[in-house]
Amino acid sequence: KVYQKNESPKVLSVLGFHFPETMKNFSCLAFSVFFSFVLNYICVCRVVIDNSSCEHATVIEVYSIKRDGVLLEVVQVLVDLNLMITKAYISSDGEWFMVVFHVTDHDGNKIREKGILNYIEKSLKWATYQNELPPMSLESNTSIFLDYTTIELTGTDRPGLLSEVCAVLTDLRCNVVNAEIWTHNARAAAVIHVADESTGCAVEDPKQLSMIKELLWNVLKGNNNLRAPKMTISTPGTTHMQRRLHQMMFADRDFERLECFEDTSSRPQVTILDCADRDYTVVVLRSRDRPKLFFDAVCTLTDMQYVVFHGTLITGRMEAYQEYYIRHIDGLPISSEAERQRVAECLEAAIERRTTEGL
């Protein structure tokens, strides 16, 4: 219809596309192809960053075509930039996904630096496109360095475990490039990136790799014969490190609470309700607010194969309120008491894993 009315240049100008007079009479087929590209470009993802509508926070709106995992990937971008999410609203009924974030830096200030705002916009678009590689680093124009060996460990937590793991790696001439260790409910999980001391690259010698595996296994096992430790050595993967730690702790069943850890005074409150008229399960979480809390909840629901259709996050001075309308990936709400209890336990564990208890 646009072509027949000879209004294609006018429409494209409104959309922000401009071209010379010689291109204004191109064929119907060419216009159809180009216009389809324009619509896809507009509809796949739209990111709006606004510093004027809210007095205390930068408002970020993301609109895109709905796909599995997009919410987690979008939240992950903001978490990796160490932004504080003070409020969030999610809606993803039908084929579309929309989320609005209120974010600040760690000092509670709006994000005003133009370079950071541009990087946020590009990274969020990249996340919704589901590209395999991340955008360039914020600090430089070089790709992220990936020439290392990844060691994943899970086992029983005990005093001195970390120092013993580091001592083994030092004796085997491995430099620790990056590492993150979580402990919860007497369990420990670690993702460690190491490089060969002599080459500065990934460890490739089969004998050295075998020795690393054998010695670390002995360290993890210790005197505990109840639960065998788990360990893998591999090349770098594409899974986000903190998401991987959640997956490892979940697989190690750290959500099964021991009798000596039954203090409920400081535990997060998880309530699971039915929304029968819309075939949703409603998950309500109340807990002490802290950085990355939103990511931990969304990550756990995603890895447990639940889809968030609607959601809200509101943080106060010390408390955070989260509400999610979910279904299992098969389209069904939670249907049994056992499943309800398991979801509640796993969400409690996900929130507690990153909570610091001090000395």
**Higher pLDDT among residues 265 and 123, named by residue:** 123
Mean pLDDT along residues 241-252: 94
Q: Is the pLDDT of residue 266 over 80?
A: no
**Residue 218 and residue 266 in one domain:** no
What percent of the chain clears pLDDT 90, i.e. is strictly above it? 62
Domain end residue (candidates: 167, 201, 235): 235
Q: Is residue 68 part of a domain?
A: no
Q: Is residue 251 part of a domain?
A: no
User: What range does the domain containing 160 cover?
Assistant: 149-235
The pLDDT of residue 17 is: 52
Beta partners for residue 184, in sequence order: 187
Q: Is residue 274 part of a domain?
A: yes
Mean pLDDT along residues 316-322: 91
Q: Is the pLDDT of residue 297 over 80?
A: yes
The pLDDT of residue 212 is: 93
Instruction: State the pTM of this model.
Output: 0.80
Domain end residue (candidates: 220, 235, 250): 235
Mean pLDDT along residues 76-98: 93
Helix-helix angle 293-303:337-353, to 10 degrees: 140
Q: For 11-61, write each residue's pLDDT tens digit.
A: 455 445 555 554 555 555 555 555 555 555 555 689 999 999 999 999 999
**Higher pLDDT among residues 238 and 233, named by residue:** 233
Q: Is the pLDDT of residue 114 over 60?
A: yes
Q: Is residue 81 part of a domain?
A: no
Round to whole Å and give the CA distance between 18 and 4: 20
Centre a 10 Å sphere on the Cβ of residue 318 and count the other Cβ atoms it contains.
9
**Higher pLDDT among residues 48 and 5, named by residue:** 48
The pLDDT of residue 141 is: 36
Q: Is residue 25 part of a domain?
A: yes
The residues, ordered by sequence, that sit 6+ positions from 357 with a Cβ below 8 Å of its Cβ are none
The pLDDT of residue 84 is: 95
Tell me how many domains the chain contains.
3
Q: Is residue 56 part of a domain?
A: no
Q: Which of 46-50, 81-85, 239-243, 281-285 has the lowest mean pLDDT?
A: 239-243
Q: Is residue 121 part of a domain?
A: no
